[in-house]
Amino acid sequence: MTPPLERLRAAAAADPRSIVLPESADERILGAAAVAAATGLCRPLLLGERELVRERAAALGIAPPGETIDPARDPRCEEARRELARRLAARGLAAAERARRLADPLHLAAALVATGAADAAVMGAASTTAETLRAALAAVGPRPGLELVSSCFLMTLADGRGVVYSDCAVVPAPDADALAEIAIAAAASCRTLLGEAPRVALLSFSTHGSARHPDVDKVRRAVERLAARRVDFAFDGELQADAALVAEVASRKAPASAVAGRANVLVFPDLDAGNIAYKLTERLAHARATGPLLQGLARPIHDLSRGCSVDDVLDVMAVAAVEARGAAAKEGA
């Protein structure tokens, strides 16, 4: 079994894509860009003044980190600003707020993705998830067919298996409609991250009517929404976590389920459950957590933890590159 991150890096290097990086003064970003450029993982595009970027890299002892896009001089940035200004005006933002966002490197990077000047963007090493999400929504927005942008984590377990956890970082209290949209986005993430057909479990403290509560009803309604939308992946709920993951338990609690006992996507009923679960899996089961990865966007823009390492940045760049390749294939189909 090839671990998911190893597979993603190999797939990214097989068809390198351009990834814009707006936090070009950050040591980890510069280091990851240098490695990516040297190994062919992707084509890093550092957003910043060329000489300043090279001086910063040299001062840190980092090899030249690939191409630089100068916001003040590069014509690609002018086109991106025009597109961003159009989108911001359509949202009815005040003039001062529009000006602030037009000057923001994260918004500019997202707009470069929107115009096709870059295939994807990776940001968040020095910015919050909220700032990354705000830029992504302003410049790119949700993908067609979805109204909600959410997140997931790729959890790589100690035995090398991968599981997608969603949502663990963005939507605090999803209703049934939001849970259905999270499940749809997470299924797409599964195809990118694991290269597998999604088997989506919508989790609860109840399995198929074993308990009654409004929170259980919400999960059941989400399952009904998925059925009504005729989605192209296997799903089931409400399922307890053990019924979703353990075949022996599933055979007793949900014997007729096509998902129970073999789920590779876990959709949590709210952000409390998702965030707690991924941290417990990471700390107690010694899993590696990659994310939060944004999902449901029209084009790939991904977030980093502010505590990320160079390897973390490279992993998220690989995810963004593989997702960009998949999006390009769909557009060309």
Domain match, 318 and 283 both:
no
Residues 21, 114 within the same domain: yes
Q: Are 155 and 162 in contact (CB under 8 A)?
A: yes
Same domain, 274 and 310: no
| pLDDT for position 291 | 86
Tokens of 88: 């911001």
Do residues 198 and 265 make contact, with C-beta atoms less than 8 angstroms apart? Answer: yes
Q: Do 48 and 179 fall within a single domain? A: no
- Model pTM score: 0.92
Q: Are residues 134 and 223 in the same domain?
A: no
Task: Please give the Cα distance from 240 to 85 (Å, whole number).
Answer: 46
Question: Do 109 and 218 share a structural domain?
Answer: no
**233 in the same domain as 173:** yes
Q: How many CA atoms lie within 13 A of 206 on its CB side?
A: 14
Both 229 and 179 in one domain: the answer is yes
pLDDT at 108: 97
Same domain, 115 and 206: no
Domain CATH number, residue 171: 3.40.50.10750
Q: Which two tokens stand for residue 140?
A: 């790119």
Residue pair 234/201 in contact (Cβ under 8 Å)? The answer is: no
Same domain, 127 and 204: no
| pLDDT for 333 | 41
**Total domain count, the chain:** 2
Co-location of 197 and 64 in the same domain: no
Q: pLDDT at position 332, please? A: 56
Same domain for 40 and 159? no
Mean pLDDT by 10 residues, the chain (333 residues): 90 96 96 95 95 92 89 95 93 88 96 97 94 95 94 95 96 97 97 96 96 96 97 96 97 95 98 96 95 94 93 96 83 54
Distance CA 114, CA 5 (A): 26
Q: Which of 134, 129, 63, 125 is nearest to 104 (CA)?
A: 134
The residues, ordered by sequence, that sit 6+ positions from 274 with a Cβ below 8 Å of its Cβ are 165, 166, 167, 168, 169, 268
- With a CB cutoff of 8 Å and minimum separation 6, the contacts of 293 are 151, 152, 153, 154, 189, 193, 302, 303, 316, 319
Q: Are 11 and 72 in contact (CB under 8 A)?
A: no
- In this structure, what CATH number is given to the domain that contains residue 96? 3.40.50.10950
Structural domain of residue 161, as residue ranges? Answer: 143-296
